[in-house]
Structure 1
C-alpha cells in the first residue's frame, strides 16, 4: 500500500507576510532574509489579498517599475488556496494545471502558510 503524504507534513515555519503598501524593494529584501520565493500580502485585519513572488518582482523590474512600487500595484491577486489536508500528489497536479509555483495553504479557511513546487518535490523525493 502506498503511503500518502499531505501538506501538513510539508508546510513548516511561520507564514512570511507583509502589507499591501510594502515596497518591491522591501519585499525583495524580506524574501532574501527569510529564504523564500513568495510573500503573502495581508490587509490590516490579516485577510489574504494576494501574493508577491520572485517572478512578480522580475516582471515588475522588466516592465520598468520603480523599486518603490507598492505590493498592491504588482502582486498576483489570488483566489486559489489549498487546504492543509490536501495530498501532496494532488497539490502537484493542481500546480501543474494552474501554472502556479507557490500556493497559499489554509486550515479551516484561515491562511497558515505557503507551499512551493520546490517544497513538494523535496517531499516526494524524501519518501
Structure 2
C-alpha cells in the first residue's frame, strides 16, 4: 500500500509568517500535532506542538512571533507513491512522527505515525477475521476429510 491512500488531505498548513498563536489554533481546530510550513505549495519547514511548547512557550516567546522562527527547517518529505513500509523506515530513521507528503515537490498531504499505525491495525484485524472464518469451514471443504460415498 502507498502513503497516498492513508495520508490526511487536504493538508492543514501555515506560511512561515503565521503567528505561533495562529499555528496553535490551526492545530487545535484540525486535531493534528504538526503543520507543514509552506511557501506557496512548497514545504519549507514543519512546526509541531512540541516546537510550540519547547522552542516558544518555555522560552517566553510571544504568541505573535512568526512560525518561521521556531519551525524545523529543511524537513524530510515523502512522495505520495511511497510504500508504507518505506515511510515507516524513514520516520524511524529521522525520528519524526509526522511527514509532509509531496507529489512533484508540491504539498499534497500529511502523514502521521498514528495514521500508519491505525491503518495497519485495521488490516491485521481484517486478516484475523478471515483466518478465523477459515478455521470454521468444515473439514470436508478443505479436502482433508473424505466425502461420503453416494449410493447411485
| Alignment TM-score > 0.5, same fold | yes
Matches within 5 A, 1:1-40: 5-40=1-36
Which one of 65, 74, 78 corresponds to residue 78 of structure 1? 74
Runs of 5+ consecutive residues of structure 2 not aligned to the other structure: 124-152
Which secondary structure does the structure 1 equivalent of 2:32 belong to?
A: coil
Which one of 19, 42, 47 corresponds to residue 42 of structure 2? 47
- Whichever structure has more helix as a proportion of its residues is 2
Deviation at 1:70, TM superposition (A): 0.5
Stretches (4+) displaced over 6 A: none
Instruction: Normalising by structure 1, report the TM-score.
Output: 0.88
Q: How many residues align?
A: 122
Deviations along 1:54-74, one digit per CA (max 9) or x if unpaired, are 111111211221211111110
Q: Which has the larger radius of gyration?
A: 2
Q: Using a 3 Å threshold, how does the CA distance of structure 1 residues 34 and 79 change in structure 2: closer, same or farther?
A: closer
Deviation at 1:79, TM superposition (A): 3.8
Runs of 5+ consecutive residues of structure 1 not aligned to the other structure: none
C-alpha RMSD of the superposition: 1.3
1:121 matched residue in structure 2? 117
What CA distance in whole angstroms lies between the structure 1 residues aligned with 2:41 and 2:116? 26
Deviation at 1:121, TM superposition (A): 0.7
